Amino acid sequence: MLKILIADDHAVVRKGLKQILLEEYPSAEIGEVEDAESLITAVIGKPWDIVICDMNMPGRSGLDALTQIKQTAPDLPVLIMSMYPEDQYALRVLKAGASGYLGKNTIHDDIIKAVQTLQLGRKFITPAVAEKLADAFGGNSEKAAHEFLSDREFDVFKLLADGNSVSDIASRLSLSSTTVSTYRSRILEKMNLKSNSELTRYAIEHHLI
Amino acid sequence: MLRILIADDHAAVRQSLKDILLEEFVSSHVDEADDTDTLLEKIADGNWDIIVSDLDMPGGGGLAMLKHIRSANNSTPVIIVSMFPADQYEQRVIDAGANAFLGKDFIATKLCPLIREITGSVR
């Protein structure tokens, strides 16, 4: 019996996904969790065949959870889904060990195909992501400033751009305020930006928030 | 028969909305739109009892839709749903002509009673 664990902070999204999956796999066991902490606990607690995880959840991000899952269960395939277009985040999540990336517009059409691909032990790559990968390897695309950030810096970057204070971010990511301030300085330096408002403007212009 | 038009760019949310509505309003007709342009086309084409639309969608979302249909004197009831908090958006969508605002976390419990209240429909 196929065991799939869904992690998303919105019950309405979990319910819709569960319905789509159960239509194709009526006897599947579908588990649900609503944040990254519960996701890690559920992954450690029992074996799953596939994890489908939202990238943006309260507390630790899906990207952060993915990194930890890869340490505790390296062979467990993780499909990351997000509200954001696949060309912005797909490479980052694949690099972090995800087995596939689904933008919210393509979930309905692609989720079953993605699950089938992952069951075969392969990664699920959409044509748009394949093109992005080819560009990255071929050197056809000039790297955007945010692509030089590490995964942790990228998480902090998004939270800053979204208007969160250093202390808010520190408590969400379980870091000290000093560490977050260091990340902030490093992010501004790497991206050649001067303030949080410039950072927010950059994120909006690049459709990152 | 209740005719409900739902609009959300997240396919899983549309699926969930549809299931919740069809479970409660068994004989209703539920149609879907995944962006603002499709939503406006379907509003123009059909005679809907109620529209349930996401606030944030490609093409302007729920606010753009409200502006468009209310300026055309279309008084079809509209419920705006959103992942954003009510304290920031509720007044704005009500001012734009919505009948109600609902956070997405309350869809499962509050959407159907709200539709019954607005449309006067009993299952």
pLDDT tens digits, A123-141:
998 887 887 777 777 665 5
User: Does CATH number 1.10.10.10 belong to domain B3-104?
Assistant: no
Of 1.10.4190.10, 2.40.37.10, 3.40.190.10, 1.10.10.10, the CATH number of A145-205 is: 1.10.10.10
Nearest CA in chain A to B84: A10
What is the pLDDT at residue A58? 77
Nearest CA in chain A to B9: A105
Query: Smallest Cβ distance to B19: which of A11, A19, A107?
Result: A19
| ipTM of the modeled complex | 0.71
- Check residues B81 and A137 and name the one with the higher pLDDT: B81
> Residue B68: which pLDDT band, with cuts at 50, 70 and 90?
very high
Closest CA to B84 of B117, B99, B115, B62: B62
> Residue A56: which pLDDT band, with cuts at 50, 70 and 90?
confident
CA of A137 vs chain B CAs: smallest distance (Å): 31
Residues 6+ apart with CB under 8 A from A160: A169, A184, A187, A196, A199, A200
Q: Which residues of chain B make contact with A16, given a CB cutoff of 8 A?
A: 10-17, 19
Looking at chain A, the domain(s) classified CATH 3.40.50.2300 span: 3-138
- Does residue A2 surpass a pLDDT of 80? yes
Q: Which of A4, A6, A9, A12 would best serve as a mutation to test chain B binding (most B beta carbons within 10 A)?
A: A12
Query: Smallest Cβ distance to B16: which of A13, A104, A105?
Result: A13
Nearest CA in chain B to A107: B11
> Residue B62: which pLDDT band, with cuts at 50, 70 and 90?
very high
Looking at chain A, the domain(s) classified CATH 1.10.10.10 span: 145-205
A201 contact B CB<8A = no
Query: Smallest Cβ distance to B105: which of A10, A20, A105?
Result: A10
Q: Which residues of chain B make contact with A104, given a CB cutoff of 8 A?
A: 9-12
Q: What is the mean pLDDT of chain A?
A: 88
- Does residue A40 surpass a pLDDT of 90? yes
Q: What percent of chain B stands above pLDDT 70? A: 98
Helix and strand element counts for chain A (H, E):
10, 5
What is the pLDDT at residue B18? 93
Structure-token pair, residue B16: 């969930």
- Does residue A26 surpass a pLDDT of 90? yes
- Check residues A104 and B44 and name the one with the higher pLDDT: B44
Nearest CA in chain B to A84: B10
Nearest CA in chain B to A14: B12
- Check residues A56 and B109 and name the one with the higher pLDDT: B109
- Check residues B92 and A91 and name the one with the higher pLDDT: B92
Contacts 24+ apart (CB under 8 A), A37-44: A38/A7, A39/A5, A39/A7, A39/A65, A39/A69, A40/A65, A40/A68, A40/A69, A40/A72, A42/A5, A43/A5, A43/A69, A43/A72, A43/A73, A43/A76, A44/A72, A44/A73
- Does residue B123 surpass a pLDDT of 50? no
CA of A147 vs chain B CAs: smallest distance (Å): 25
Q: Which residues of chain B make contact with A107, given a CB cutoff of 8 A?
A: 10-12
- In CATH, the architecture of A3-138 is 3-Layer(aba) Sandwich (3.40)
A36 contact B CB<8A = no
CB–CB contact A15 B9 (8 Å):
no
Query: Smallest Cβ distance to A16: which of B9, B12, B83?
Result: B12
Each domain of chain B, given as residue ranges in start order, spans: 3-104
Lowest-confidence segment of A58-62, A73-77, A118-122 by average pLDDT: A58-62
CB–CB contact B108 A11 (8 Å):
yes
Lowest-confidence segment of A18-27, A138-147, B50-59, B61-70 by average pLDDT: A138-147
A83 contact B CB<8A = yes
What is the pLDDT at residue A181? 93
Q: What is the pLDDT of residues B23-38, one digit of tens each?
A: 999 999 999 999 999 9
Q: What is the mean pLDDT of residues B86-114?
A: 90
- Does residue A191 surpass a pLDDT of 50? yes
